[in-house]
Structure 1
């Protein structure tokens, strides 16, 4: 397991066999180009599996009351998005890089989501 920190994006960023656009050993298609900030360690990881392998602690989802703060990194252009903006987007608003639509099924792993109650 090789962890890599990428200083190009100028944020705390770690991943397992991560490339320069934040694709990792677990998710590495052409459209897997985001990393998510974890509030438990203030570090961006490409996925929950990378966090699990590298962080040494349990992941916490981004709090709902902080959805206006930057917590999503575009691995293509380094733009930072709020969870609210990311959830509504199909691509980066800065560089138009497409985001993997399958990531939407994992939102609950990264963000504190309302249960609808």
Structure 2
């Protein structure tokens, strides 16, 4: 389940709602997938970043629900359904990943 101020069932939120904004990021602190870091601010704790090389399922595709590692997510699209991800999300990578 994707948490946040969602505007649709694919994980788009009030802050990021383009056609390609369909990923949710895992917070290691609470163990929940969040639509974005701004939505996560309501959680009351800092976002627990996932180490890039951990092999953890750090990202979830909002189109099909497939969970993937940072490495798989970095390919730019979902390996399960083929949905493309927003390339601009790379600008926020340090918020979600260490």
User: Same fold by TM-score, threshold 0.5 exceeded?
Assistant: yes
Contact 2:40 2:47 in 1 (8 A): yes
Partner of 1:90: 76
Distance (whole Å) between structure 1 residues aligned to residue 53 and residue 17 of structure 2: 31
Say yes or no: does 1:103 pair with 2:89: yes
- What RMSD over aligned residues (CA atoms) do the two structures have, in Å? 1.2
Structure 1 residues 59 and 82, CA, compared in 2 at 3 Å: closer, same or farther? same
Q: CA deviation at 1:18?
A: 3.8
Distance (whole Å) between structure 1 residues aligned to residue 80 and residue 52 of structure 2: 24
**TM, length-normalised to structure 1:** 0.78
Partner of 1:79: 66
Unmatched segments (≥5 aa) in structure 2: none
| CA-to-aligned-CA distance 1:42-76 (integer Å, 9 cap, x gap) | 01001110101x2111112113452x121100000
Distance (whole Å) between structure 2 residues aligned to residue 17 and residue 79 of structure 1: 18
Partner of 2:13: 24
Matched residue pairs, number? 98
**TM, length-normalised to structure 2:** 0.92
Partner of 2:46: 58
Say yes or no: does 1:36 pair with 2:25: yes
Q: Which has the larger radius of gyration?
A: 1
Q: CA deviation at 1:19?
A: 1.6
